[in-house]
Amino acid sequence: MHTRRIGDVEVSAIGLGAMPMSIEGRPDEARSLATLHAALDTGVTLIDTADAYHLGADEVGHNEILIAKALASHERGGEVLVATKGGHLRPGDGSWTRDGSPAHLKRACEASLRRLGVEAIGLYQFHRPDPRVPYAESVGALRELLDEGKIRMAGVSNADPEQIRQADEILGGRLVSVQNQFSPAFRSSEPELRLCDELGIAFLPWSPFGGISRAGELGSAHAAFARIAQAHGVSAHQVCLAWMLAKSPVVVPIPGASRPESVRDSVRAADLVLTAGEIAELDAA
């Protein structure tokens, strides 16, 4: 497995987004654990989660608990950087709400620590800006968690360029990651990707295939990806991830999965080399 860096930590060039194993349409626990173990078997050392990845209001942190169980039962579990997030909530009715208050983020971090069973969270990210709370206050909570040793690294998610610069300043140059939506169908985070490249901050594209409901349509919805995939004898998903990796050495895609075979397909993208012409064609697609 090729590697990239998040802060001072070397991680697999392809990570795993674990959300599909805990929200609507999730598989049973046995298949989820098999999926997580397949990721570890193939060399994945970055797993993305959040306390809000769950269904009912009585199971906050379902995904974190699942990951902790998978890591504890695999010989390579100790090699994984777990990136979790706080500040986004699911009341249990299918909706998503926000709470970016420092008090909430600190409570959420403590709860994530307990669920993951660690003394310090490897990477903790502010999940989504809360319009009711000044951004500086939310990021200030991350700074305090860093200084207290509750988290080893800090990142932000769903942030614009101004917020990225502000967060890095508040954190004293210690912002290590930005996790934004980015896919062939959703490219409006290009400015954030370019800024991360300029600053040397890891850019983690979420929903790189366009989301759970659209992932299977990647090839049919984007002809260039399908054509290049056929030319290489690989899936359109591998082409998508290889295209992202080619954009910048700071990019670390985190494709979601709920089946072992999906993980195995995604990780092969790290070995796929696209020509300059193919990259240009995909950029224009």
Residue 213 confidence (pLDDT) = 65
Residue 13 confidence (pLDDT) = 98
Residue 220 confidence (pLDDT) = 77
User: CA-CA distance, 70 to 172, in Å (whole number)?
Assistant: 34
User: What is the tens place of the pLDDT at every residue in 83-96?
Assistant: 999 999 999 888 99
Residue 178 confidence (pLDDT) = 98
Residue 215 confidence (pLDDT) = 63
Low-confidence ranges of the chain (pLDDT < 50): none
Residue 1 confidence (pLDDT) = 84
pTM of this prediction?
0.96
Q: Active site includes 53?
A: yes
Residue 221 confidence (pLDDT) = 75
- Give the active site residue among 13, 51, 52, 53: 53
User: What is the tens place of the pLDDT at every residue in 114-161?
Assistant: 999 999 999 999 999 999 999 999 999 999 999 999 999 999 999 999
Q: Which amino acid is at 129?
A: P
> Which of 101, 93, 88 has the alpha carbon at shortest distance from 52?
88
User: CA-CA distance, 270 to 237, in Å (whole number)?
Assistant: 12
